[in-house]
A and B are shown apart, each in its own frame.
Chain A
Amino acid sequence: MAQRYRIFGVPKTVINDRIEIDGALREPQLVQQVLGALDSNG
């Protein structure tokens, strides 16, 4: 898992296997990243 997702430090968040974010996330940032990970239809 660590190799697959290139985990070199934690925390790391991976959304829908499309977006990877290193470091802690504040709630608004997480929401932004979640919306960015979705297909444009939804």
Chain B
Amino acid sequence: MALIGTKDRKTLEDLFSQRMKNDVTVTYFTQGESKLFIPGQECELCRETRQMLEEVTELSDHVHLEVKDFVRDGELAAEMGVTRIPAIVLQGKGKGQVRFFGIPSGYEFSTLIEDLFEVSSGQTTLSDKTRTALKDVNQPLHIQVFVTPT
């Protein structure tokens, strides 16, 4: 059963055609999907997150999904700063990356969509004042925002 309904899909397709300017790579780290259940190694929401990302990817030719195994692709995970799953990494025109850990469900689904648009454009909606205040920052900056899907 699709996670995104038909009506929502049409709305999203229209939005994507208006706002997706450049390609975005969505690297999704998950665990290998196996019929064998190994206690302590289950990732409860990995399968559903993958389905969600596959449906989102179908909405635009500018979105490219790469599915990686957290264990087998451990080196790549470490390079991208992925330490837990499910993990979604968005990379596009600009420098830097957006990482989302957990399933972007509920209100966070719109966060994922907006992130795709911004990563695609290589720009943000930050004010000129903010850009000026931040332009001379020359240190690594790690911002974590904790949310809950509702």
Interface of A toward B, CB cutoff 8 Å: 1-2, 5, 7, 10-17, 27-28, 31, 34-35, 37-39, 41-42
The answer to whether A11 and B145 touch (CB under 8 A), given A27-B130, A31-B130, A31-B133, is: yes
- Chain A residue numbers with a CB within 8 Å of B129 are 28
Dominant secondary structure at the A interface: loop
State whether B133 touches A15 (Cβ < 8 A). Answer: no
For the side of the interface on B, what is the size category? 20 to 34
State whether B145 touches A13 (Cβ < 8 A). Answer: yes
State whether B145 touches A31 (Cβ < 8 A). Answer: no
Q: State the total of A-B contacts with C-beta under 8 angstroms.
A: 55
Residue B34 lies at the interface, judged by CB distance under 8 Å to chain A: no
Minimal beta-carbon separation of A14 from chain B (angstroms): 4
The answer to whether A7 and B146 touch (CB under 8 A), given A27-B127, A27-B130, is: yes
State whether A5 touches B139 (Cβ < 8 A). Answer: no
Residue B126 lies at the interface, judged by CB distance under 8 Å to chain A: yes
